[in-house]
Structure 1
């Protein structure tokens, strides 16, 4: 089935006061993400994958080297749609409710989670993603290279940060750690992560 690029859940300039410029979103959402969606739809049109949900296609293509192009574009289309929802004009700070309690239980404290998440995001060599996932009932921090995501490993993604250079270079240049700090302090959408946990 055709995968539609969902509208951003906020105005492109809404994150600017929190460190992510409208120019970044113009390039990242308007060009990079759009290209992944367009390429995925072209590659799967008139194929045996055309009628399958994108999550199913991602899992099939990940295991088949002949479908690497479909995987890369499909997973990146999905990853970005997920990522936009991980950002909020009212984001940042600590989570609350059940998610906060589970973070304390599974990581030992929120500060320990932050330490693990920052390390995963900062040490992902080259392009990739840092994730908060639910893995067999336990919260874990993971990192994946390029287009790879937790879906292909049987994990439930709750939250992600895109650490490809195009995600931060206009606003932070080569300072990836500053971009990670800004995400956690001003942008992270804990309500979205909490809803993913509740639905798992």
Structure 2
């Protein structure tokens, strides 16, 4: 079961001016594709080749001898999830079930925004900031490198990529500006609601 590179769920220029077509071209067509290619090479001819992507990630998580497989497979999953967390004309206050859950678990949308952006800003080096469901409650976590909260039994609902290649062409070293734009202009709350089910 080969790991494949999914198409972006929108045109490469659809997120402009917030994320440029040039960034998506490098990020999706080069970085994401490299993780797909590397993961396929690493699982070729092994028992992992028969598993789906999520099963591979869960099976090799924490196994130092399979770190290369984990890093590439998890990065494929993380990126595929990240693309779906954004949409043209997205962002702003949520609607639907997630809006009520955010108010219940964080006290307000503003408190959620503050904690989510803070997780992204304070993730040292490369990594991700996530909104997850853990034991029935919403929680914000940050992970380094390729780590994914699902291996700790949490359910990812939303992620922002804070590896420099996600924003550097558009924002240079201004990670806080990128995070503000992500929250205000890009989040696909429809997708987040679909993950909550």
TM-score (norm: length of structure 1):
0.97
Is 1:120 aligned to 2:119, yes or no? Answer: yes
CA RMSD of aligned residues (A): 0.6
Is 1:14 aligned to 2:14, yes or no? Answer: yes
CA contact (8 A) 1:55 1:151 kept: no
CA contact (8 A) 1:124 1:143 kept: yes
Secondary structure of the residue aligned to 2:19 is coil
- 2-structure distance, mates of 1:38, 1:3: 8
**Cα shift readout 1:34-69 (whole Å, capped 9, x = no counterpart):** 000010011101101110111111112112110000
Which residue number in structure 1 is paired with residue 151 of structure 2? Answer: 152
- 2-structure distance, mates of 1:10, 1:86: 12
Secondary structure of the residue aligned to 2:50 is coil
Q: CA deviation at 1:97?
A: 1.7
Aligned length: 197
**Cα shift readout 1:136-181 (whole Å, capped 9, x = no counterpart):** 1000000000000111110000000000000000000000000000
1:11-160 equivalent positions in 2, closer than 5 A: 11-17=11-17, 19-160=18-159
The runs of 4+ residues in structure 1 deviating greater than 3 Å are none
Is 1:163 aligned to 2:169, yes or no? Answer: no
Q: CA deviation at 1:134?
A: 0.3
**Cα shift readout 1:96-153 (whole Å, capped 9, x = no counterpart):** 1211000000011111100100110000000000000000100000000000011111
